[in-house]
Amino acid sequence: MVKFNYVITDEVGIHARPAGLLVKTAQQLSSKVTISKGDKSGDAKKIFSIMGLCAKQGDEITVTVEGENEAEDAKTLEAFLKENL
Amino acid sequence: MIKLQGKTVFSGIAIGRISVFKDPDIAVKREHVDDTEKEWKRVTDAKAEAINELGALYDIAMEQVGESGAEVFSVHQMMLEDEDFSDSIKNIIETEKVNAEYAVATTADNFAEMFASMDDDYMKARAADIKDISNRLLKILCGVKRSGVSDNEPSIIAADDLSPSETVRMDKSKVLAFVTRHGSSNSHTAILARTMNIPALIGVDFDDDAVDGKTGIVDGSEGVIYIDPSEELLETYRKKQEELLRQREMLKALKGKPTETKSGRKLNLYANIGGVSDVAYVLQNDAEGIGLFRSEFLYLSKEDYPSEEEQFKVYKTVLQNMAGKKVIIRTLDIGADKQIDYFKLDHEENPAMGFRAIRICLERPEVFKTQLRALFRAGLYGTAAIMYPMITSVEEIREIKSIVEEVKAELTAQNIPFNPDIEQGIMIETPAAVMISDLLAKEVDFFSIGTNDLTQYTLAIDRQNSKLDRFYNPHHEAVLRMIELVVKNAHKEGIWAGICGELGADTTLTERFVNMGVDELSVSPTFVLPIREKIRAME
């Protein structure tokens, strides 16, 4: 299991468009990806689950990646977050 | 005539017939089913069809409004494919033994509720997306035909709210404006209205029967819609609309073009603003910078002195929004016709010649220093310039300079980052400043001529007194000669001179100003393009 934290810098937060891109990215990975914010957590492969976190600018999210390719998948996600959120 | 107030999400004027757009009601009944597998198959089939439809809408939207407007349909596809959403529908069908329609509607309500309860306006608006996708499924399930604007006449579309798919599917040449009861400035209708360049109002509380088929005027600048307007009002708005169209045409033709004469003499054409929100007009009208940012509003809208931090944020925002273009901020100019209670200024018999502007700042350096600190700090975020108003002598400038040096020394000692190399200039608005402009030019980086006060002081005519109107000649040769002298003296010392008063926007004088060698004109944002047009037509 690989875990990392990320602080949202995008002005609007994980809104519809980046949420869609995030889900698309996560769906291509073999690992199970969980994103949590405070006591809420969601499956990164499901759009409603991600939008339900209501993550806004300044919020810290924790990304948990589990699976055979976890190290590499975590890197992919971290790069995605930095680029888009 | 009825006048209804709403909130503008995109400005403009539309005149035409109002057409109420209603989605056919889909009445969902709860029905008992035995074959739940068959119901689930109906859902998966409908889903596949809906995803196809969305793919087609994505393509249309890409063509009409580009990727930012089209993206929503790909998000909708993803929402339809969402496992939790499907699981919920399936679960309801199986456990309650009910029809597909009921399961879809119930699931959509639950999901929409989740968004509606979020304490974030953007997310709240996403409840409309859920409604949109569930309606799409329901229409396919119930076999309802799509609704749309069927009329041939272009109309003002009035609706409860419009979903992204409805807005995209509408024949754009038939839509004059959008008026909705609900919706938000983050809604897709708003985004599309902006891209389509048509006025849109939200939050208008209208009655379907009272507006349908009637003539309406949508005034985006005021956020109002008039229903059954008088012929007189129609005429006024037709004129306004024409003017707006002309403006837009001009914008198209002149946007991005340099402000220069045919022989290649260039001028800096800037805009005057009185607050942060005006920056939008500056950019819309393609001004090359801000030549006069009146900082008074920071003080006028308050009960107490604005703090350094408050001011810093405002200056920083404007500088960032102008992205490197020049922003000339005039330091506090109150007194005369602008009074502020907490400054506790004495009543004066002759305020125009009284305790005002730089005189207050020099008398109360603590107020002045707060503003200067904020300005020099904000200077790191763009191209700022500072301009001091109501100067009459070289001594005043020296006094300002020593206060500026103190401010810089304090910031340095406190380790607060700031831009030490900000251009500093003065307003030329007193005859005294004109007469010694040769001396003043040695002390500062630029001159900006404030023609309103300069005219009032030169002609000894109080502009607030309407009895004097017939004696007031804005084109008085005395004032024009003063401008010429100021420009000449500025150039002798190698500094630039501009005009930021009303006279600068007078197109009958533009040619004369250019010939005098004026380097910059700063005018209200709406005058920027007419002046650029004038200058570009000059030899």
**CATH number of the domain where residue A37 is located:** 3.30.1340.10
Task: Enumerate the residues of chain B whose CB falls inside 8 A of the CB of residue A48.
Answer: 79, 82, 84-85, 111, 114
Contact call for residues B273 and B290 (beta carbons, < 8 A)? yes
Our count of domains for chain A comes to: 1
Type of residue found at B265: R
Kindly state the tokens that stand for A57: 């600018």
Contact call for residues B12 and B248 (beta carbons, < 8 A)? no
**Closest to A5 (Cα-Cα) out of A52, A45, A49, A65:** A65
Ranges of residues in chain B whose predicted pLDDT is under 50: 146-149
For B24-142, CATH number?
1.10.274.10
Kindly state the tokens that stand for B372: 């200067």
Contacts of B224 (CB under 8 A, 6+ apart): B3, B4, B5, B6, B201, B218
Residue window 19-58, chain A: list those with CB within 8 Å of chain B. 19-20, 23-24, 45-49, 51-52, 54, 56
Which residue of A51, A53, A84 to mutate against B (max B Cβ within 10 Å)?
A51
Task: State residue B188's pLDDT score.
Answer: 65
Question: Rounded mean pLDDT of chain B?
Answer: 89
ipTM exceeds 0.90: no
Beta carbons of B126 and A16 less than 8 Å apart: yes
> Which residue in chain B has the smallest CA separation from A16?
B75
For B265-534, CATH number?
3.20.20.60
**Closest to B84 (Cα-Cα) out of A16, A13, A22, A44:** A44
Residues of B carrying an active site annotation: 188, 500
The distance of B87 to chain A (nearest Cα, Å) reads: 12
Kindly state the tokens that stand for B188: 């897709």
Task: Enumerate the residues of chain B whose CB falls inside 8 A of the CB of residue A57.
Answer: none
Kindly indicate the confidence band of residue A1, based on its pLDDT and cuts at 50, 70 and 90.
confident
Judge whether A15 counts as a catalytic residue.
yes
The distance of A35 to chain B (nearest Cα, Å) reads: 16
Q: Which of A4, A10, A15, A32 is catalytic?
A: A15
Estimate the crossing angle of helix A70-84 against helix A16-27, to 10 degrees: 160
> Which residue in chain A has the smallest CA separation from B68?
A17
SS (H, E, C) B394-427: HHHHHHHHHHHHHHHHHHHHCCCCCCCCCEEEEE
3-state DSSP assignment of residue A7? strand
Task: State residue B150's pLDDT score.
Answer: 52
List own/partner pairs for B442-445 with CB under 8 A and 24 or more apart.
Answer: B442/B493, B443/B394, B443/B397, B443/B398, B443/B401, B444/B397, B444/B495, B445/B385, B445/B495
Task: State residue B336's pLDDT score.
Answer: 65
Beta carbons of B78 and A23 less than 8 Å apart: yes
Contacts of B401 (CB under 8 A, 6+ apart): B443
Beta carbons of A48 and B111 less than 8 Å apart: yes
- Kindly report the backbone phi and psi dihedral angles of residue B507, in degrees, each rounded to the nearest multiple of 5, phi listed first: -70, -15
Task: State residue B425's pLDDT score.
Answer: 98
Beta carbons of B75 and A54 less than 8 Å apart: no
A-to-B residue pairs, Cβ atoms closer than 8 angstroms: 46
Beta carbons of B84 and A16 less than 8 Å apart: no
Beta carbons of B78 and A24 less than 8 Å apart: yes
Task: Enumerate the residues of chain B whose CB falls inside 8 A of the CB of residue A20.
Answer: 71, 74-75, 78
Task: State residue B302's pLDDT score.
Answer: 80
When computed from its CA atoms, the radius of gyration of chain A, rounded to whole angstroms, is 11
Beta carbons of B82 and A52 less than 8 Å apart: no
Rounded Cα distance between B151 and B174, Å, is 8
Domain with A34 in it: 2-84
Rounded Cα distance between B494 and B519, Å, is 12
Which residue of A47, A53, A59 to mutate against B (max B Cβ within 10 Å)?
A47
For chain B, the helix, strand and coil percentages under 3-state DSSP, each to the nearest 5: 55, 15, 30
Rounded Cα distance between B187 and B180, Å, is 11
Which residue of B68, B81, B84 to mutate against A (max A Cβ within 10 Å)?
B84
Rounded Cα distance between B131 and B459, Å, is 67
Task: State residue B258's pLDDT score.
Answer: 94
Task: State residue B70's pLDDT score.
Answer: 80
Domain ranges for chain B: 24-142, 265-534
Which residue of B65, B75, B321 to mutate against A (max A Cβ within 10 Å)?
B75
Beta carbons of B120 and A13 less than 8 Å apart: yes
Contact call for residues B13 and B241 (beta carbons, < 8 A)? yes
Task: Enumerate the residues of chain B whose CB falls inside 8 A of the CB of residue A28.
Answer: none
The model's pLDDT over B84-109, given as tens digits with 9 standing for 90+, comes to 899 999 999 999 999 999 999 999 98
The distance of A17 to chain B (nearest Cα, Å) reads: 7
Beta carbons of B120 and A56 less than 8 Å apart: yes
Query: Does the CB of A15 have a partner CB in chain B at under 8 Å?
Result: yes
Task: Enumerate the residues of chain A whose CB falls inside 8 A of the CB of residue B126.
Answer: 15-16, 51
Task: Enumerate the residues of chain A whose CB falls inside 8 A of the CB of residue B114.
Answer: 48, 52
Task: Enumerate the residues of chain A whose CB falls inside 8 A of the CB of residue B79.
Answer: 47-48
Task: State residue B497's pLDDT score.
Answer: 98
Nearest to A48 among B74, B82, B122 (CB): B82
Kindly indicate the confidence band of residue A14, based on its pLDDT and cuts at 50, 70 and 90.
low
The distance of A70 to chain B (nearest Cα, Å) reads: 22
Beta carbons of B120 and A54 less than 8 Å apart: yes
Instruction: Looking at B100-152, list the stretches that DSSP marks H as alpha helix, in order from N- to C-terminal side.
Output: 100-116, 121-125, 127-142
Task: State residue B261's pLDDT score.
Answer: 95
Task: Enumerate the residues of chain B whose CB falls inside 8 A of the CB of residue A54.
Answer: 118-120, 123
Contacts of B2 (CB under 8 A, 6+ apart): B210, B226, B227, B228
The distance of B58 to chain A (nearest Cα, Å) reads: 14
Task: Enumerate the residues of chain A whose CB falls inside 8 A of the CB of residue B112.
Answer: none
